[in-house]
Structure 1
Amino acid sequence: MSGGVRGNGVAGWEKGLRYALLLTVLVIAVGPFLWQLSTSLKGTTEDIYTNPPRFVPQDPTLGNYSRVADIIPVWDYALNSLKVAVANVVTNCVGASLAGYALARLKFRGRRIAGLAFVMALLVPLESIIIAQFTTMRALELNNTLVAVVLPGSVAALNVLLMRNAFANIPYEVEEAALIDGANVWQRFLRIGLPAVRGTLAVVAIFAFMGAWDDFLWPLIVLSDSENFTLTVGLNFLHGTFQQDPRLVAAGSVIAVAPLVVMFACLQRYFFRGVGEGAVKG
């Protein structure tokens, strides 16, 4: 009896510690965003440096968001970012799924070398190749265009490897049965492969959208005309010019983060399906 009580006590202590750690991680991860959201809703007459900090605004207002739109063409910048992000999602989903399927299911000379090349590409930092990317875009006469922003990240090596692993988990018996029925490579890819890896496709879409939407360094280098600025580049101007008014900076940050939250909320059902990816469903 005493052993059972002691065991329950230890289990309760471990459970409490687990929840405490999870709560700490949640505060660290979500706390800054909540503070930015709170700051963006505070009026100019409200002190944002109170001690202790006050998360709930006394008189919430959306005026800071309209002020951001008055100072910079934030919605034009957001539209440019949306174009880049959507194009990046399409190219990554199509290109990574095709390349991943070829690496996982097709037999051809040099397949191992091709897979190793994608792994090695993950080890190359962006800063070491960004000059070569810029000169390439200039040689193609694509500088100062949104195409130049999309092109270098149109098929990311990480996404190819994710799709390769997802396709590799599909049992070969399923494709062998389709092959006996006369299905060609494209039919097996479209009717068997893709439906079985929808969860990983959602992960690739989220990663591609986030990477394109949050990218700052490459658009800053390749874009020179303000009409083509993405949201991150445009908000940098807001931060540099009006850094004494953190309410505007906070409002711009919330505008930039909101689409990512919406996209993840729409795709989270597929995002967490990775454990059973590729399993045979009866």
Structure 2
Amino acid sequence: MLKRIDTNNPAVVERTAEKIFRHHYRDGDFESIRRTFADIQKLFKGELSGYQACDMRYHDLEHTLEATVAMMDVVDGMNRAPDGMFLPEDFFTLGMHAVLMHDAGYLKEHGDADGTGAKYTLTHVHRSAEFADRYLLDRGYSPHDRAAVQHMILCTGFFVDTSKIPFQSEPERMAGYALGTGDLLGQMAAPDYLEELEKLFDEFQECVQRQGPAAASLAAYSSVEDMRAKTPQFFRGHVMRTLTHQWGGVYRFMERPLGSGKNPYLEAIVRNIRKVDPRFRLRS
């Protein structure tokens, strides 16, 4: 059973992050991550200089925190597993910066009065990477570390080809895979995922209306009911293919106990999908 963390409460997620951090890096410096937690909350509330409050209904702060919890579960398992890779402390920290900023590209700057951040659906990943670069530059991070965070964020692209991302090291690559995996599975495992699709559909519709043919891939669903009905094939096709071929199959590190074949995230997703297809099985 998937252990539920209150992703509506940033303080709870931050405490969970610090607990995992302290387990693996007992005497490490968590303060850099703590500051990013604080600043991202300010960003979404419209309290960070230059930005309006988040006006997204699906890609809101809770979505970011869902991805954060799921990514931490991947990294925690990866650090523990005999066949995993123990991420050095600095890459855990950079990975946390990346996941907390991975959807910053949806936020509108002051003076942007046209529509909602949904209009940036097609470009939000690159906008997020650019935001992270500026933010970390202001905090004195090196070009190498800023590039690492950008590369991790690029892993969250819907049609990502990770073979084209110029990772600088294997830990950077693995942190990116963990982020992509956590971003996708964190949201789909949420108990209200199917209900929340109405908000996602509305975001897609706004982007299609504003971007036209460029957003054709978002026009694949005729209604929210159609989106829900196609969730089984979306998961079995796109999701499992991406988890395996683009993100190195690191979702296996979410198994609890490790190596048991029991993945609480996949089990939660199957329960969700069975609401629309009672006969759905993970492997047909």
Q: Determine which structure has greater relative contact order: mean sequence separation of CA pairs < 8 Å that are 6+ residues apart, divided by chain length.
A: 1
Same fold (TM over 0.5): no
Identify the structure with the greater helix proportion.
1
Normalised by the length of structure 2, the TM-score is 0.29
Normalised by the length of structure 1, the TM-score is 0.29
